[in-house]
Amino acid sequence: MNNLILQLLIIFTYDLNLSTMIKLQVIGNLGKDCIVNTVNGKNVINFTVAHTEKYRDSQGNNQEKTTWVDCAYWTDRTAISPYLTKGKQVFVEGTPEVRSFTRNDGTAGASLSLRVREVQLLGGRGESAGSPAGATVESYSQSKTPIPNAADISEPIDDLPF
């Protein structure tokens, strides 16, 4: 399935502490290779994710609309950056921000940016035939709990519950 998917999930929650949350989840393809920068001693990986929606208008004509999301992933774990290349399909999740600006011709414009908390490589152009489409290659998150490697697990294999 070559169809680009954008899944916008904006969740507002309200609890007794009167706090709110807004979250954006995006599945799409990278528009260009990522760029790793250092700002005030902290690493940030910048990349763009594209979603193209294909639909038929009221006259039955095929139409396309592309939405671009500018992503900033503030992390010390930059090992994923060599894999964030043009055309790769990714899942990103984080806090969205809409920025308004004035174009050179004087018209108003807006851009959608995302402060990324998690990024997963899903696949994309240039994948080998042995990789199933949609398989998760890597997942990076800002969570405090590290995921153990298989070599770090000390349980014997024959004690598995299945």
pLDDT in tens, 12-58: 444 445 577 889 999 999 999 999 999 999 999 999 999 888 999 99
The predicted structure's pLDDT at residue 75 = 92
In this structure, the number of other CB atoms found within 10 A of the CB of residue 7 comes to 12
Q: What SS3 class is residue 159?
A: helix
Mean pLDDT of the chain: 76
pTM (2 decimals)?
A: 0.64
Instruction: Quote the longest CA-to-CA distance of the chain.
Output: 69
Domains of the chain from N-terminus onward: 24-159 (2.40.50.140)
Summarize pLDDT for 80-94 with one digit per residue, the tens: 999 999 999 999 999
Confidence of residue 161 (pLDDT cuts 50, 70, 90): low
Q: Does the pLDDT at position 122 exceed 50? A: yes
Q: Is the pLDDT of residue 114 over 90?
A: yes
Phi-psi region of 159 (alpha: psi -120 to 50; beta: other; left: phi over 0): alpha
- Position 126: which residue type? G
